[in-house]
Each structure stands twice: as C-alpha cells, then as structure tokens.
Amino acid sequence: MPYKLLISLISFFVISNSFATPSQQIPQNCQSKRVKLQILGSRGPELLDGQASTGYLIWLDNKARVIVDAGPGSLQRFKQSKANFEDVDLILFSHFHVDHSNDFPAYIKGAFFTNRSKELDVLGPTGTKFVASAEQLVQRAIGSNGGLYPYLGDFADPKARSAFKIKTKNIQWSYKDLNSKEIYNKNGIRVTTVSTHHGPFPSQGYRVELAGCSISFTGDMSGRLGAMPDLAKNSDILVAHNAIPEDATGVPALLHMTPSYIGKMAQRANVKLLLLTHLMKRSLKSNKQNTALIKKYYKGKMLYPRDLDSFNP
C-alpha cells in the first residue's frame, strides 16, 4: 500500500484532536527524593543540534531502573550519567523510529562487559511494514538467525547460554482499544500504557509509577487518539515532544502534536511538571510562540531540559 494512502487511511479512523474523559486516580504520596528522571537524549533525529536523540532514564534509590527509548547518542549520555546497566530492569520503546531505538544493540554489547545476570525486559509496540515491532527489533538487531549482529544472539535465545537474557514482548497497538493497560509490575515499578497516533507508525505513551511518584512520556504522537491526558492524569512529571510549531502542515503535522495540544493535554492531565523535549529546528524557530501557546492552557511549571539534566518528581 502506498505510504500516503496508508497515512490517510489511518487518519480517517482517528478523531482529530479529541480528548478521552480522564478517569479518577487516587492521589499518591510521592517519595520524591527516592526518584529521579534523567534526560539521556533531549532532541530528535537532526545532526547539528549538539544533543542526543530521544532517551530517558528513571532512577530509584540511586539505581538506574528504567530506560525509555534508546535514540542515537543516548547510550553515550547513559555512560556519562554513571548509571550501572546491571541495575536496569526494563527498556521501554515508544516506537521504532531510528531516533528512538538505534542505540539498542550497543547497550547489549556494553552489557557483555558488566556482571549483569538478571533478565532484561524489553517492551514496545507491534510493527507494520514500515517499522519493526519490539520482538522484531531484538531479532533483527541481534538475533542468531539473520540478525544484523548475530554474534550477540545468545542474549535473546532462551535455549542458548548467556550471562543474562532479554525478554521481549510486543504491546498490541490499537486505535480502537484506548484503555490504559498495565504491562509491567515488578520490584516496585509499575508501567501502564496507551496507544497513541504517530501517523502510520504504532506508538505507545507510558506512565511509570514508583515510590508513589509517576512519570509519563508521550513519545512522538499527534494527539489524535486522545488517550494520553487520561494516562498522564496527575503525573508528577510529563515528558512531551515538541517537534513541530503550531502552523506545521503535511506529514510533520500528521505525526506530531502542536504546542497548543501539548498545553491542553498538560492542563487536562493536571501534571506538576512539564518537560518539553524532541525539539527540532522547525519547532525551535518559533520557541517563544510555542511556549506562549502551551502556557495559554497549562499554568504549571514547564522546562526545556538538555541532555543529562535530571529532575526529582
């Protein structure tokens, strides 16, 4: 199917700029000092921005526990963060564009030189002919059968001997089922997810809860499925991607949310801190206007972090 036709078909099925009704969530007592969100990559795929592509790290009790996305350069920031990969339980992928996933095999190669023995959970959306699924990413990157780096295949093969295993699971992307789903609940970390609209590319938004705190991530999305504000309801931190200006048209507007959408979403979700990342030349050009548009709706604290900045919720 031609790319443009697929985009218009998917757009036809989704409701433009709608917001799902937020559900009530019990306010939690966030033990802020125990939790830290660190930015491993604050930008998108452009080459001259001086920052890494998308990646985030969640710390609990001074241990790095969750990585969200692994864009190019984010592994270098992980090294600079002094995090220990042995502590990481989970890698969440919002979707499988290059600027969100390309450092994955390098993490696994790096892990070979650690004392890691515990399982590594990897979760991400299902794929299409344009993008891999989580399971395909792992198999096509390091699978023993036809992977790009088959010498790392034992980590993903339950029958082979390796110091640790990667346990990968696809999250079923759907534009019909927009209820949030719990996809992970282990060792004090709970993750819920909703499907989001990112043109023809299956994409997931995440809410990570730990020590009574909640940190939500939009990933790349246009907002057209409308479930993200509900997922992010009362989050201590919401990380939202500001990849386009308000007057964007064409494919960028189909793939990404406008500043005013971000403002409405953050206001509706009643988040305590809004972090804007995945900035690109086109959105930076009208940064002042973007900020004003977001602030028109969202009155809380908002920041544009850079790589390695960190925040207690």
Binding residues (CB under 5 A) for Zn ion: these are 97, 220
Shortest CB 295 distance to Zn ion, Å: 25
Q: Which is nearer to Zn ion, 45 or 212 (CB)?
A: 45
Shortest CB 252 distance to Zn ion, Å: 11
Q: Which is nearer to Zn ion, 220 or 307 (CB)?
A: 220
Shortest CB 251 distance to Zn ion, Å: 11
Shortest CB 97 distance to Zn ion, Å: 4
Element (H, E) at 254: helix 250-255
Angle among Cα 190, 194, 197 to the nearest 5 degrees reads 145
- DSSP conformation class of 92: E
Separation CA 310–CA 303 (nearest Å):
12
Instruction: With H, G, I as helix, E, B as strand and everything else as coil, classify residue 21.
Output: coil
Shortest CB 198 distance to Zn ion, Å: 6
Q: Which is nearer to Zn ion, 97 or 224 (CB)?
A: 97
Backbone dihedral region of 39: left (phi > 0), alpha (psi from -120 to 50 degrees) or beta? beta
| Of 146, 166, 49, 44, nearest in space to 95 by CA | 44
Do 1 and 208 form a contact (C-beta atoms < 8 A)?
A: no
Shortest CB 122 distance to Zn ion, Å: 18
CA end-to-end span of the chain: 44
Q: Which is nearer to Zn ion, 125 or 305 (CB)?
A: 125
Q: Which is nearer to Zn ion, 203 or 260 (CB)?
A: 203
Q: What is the radius of gyration, based on Cα positions, of the chain? A: 18
Q: Which is nearer to Zn ion, 209 or 220 (CB)?
A: 220
Separation CA 182–CA 228 (nearest Å):
14
Largest Cα–Cα separation, the chain: 56
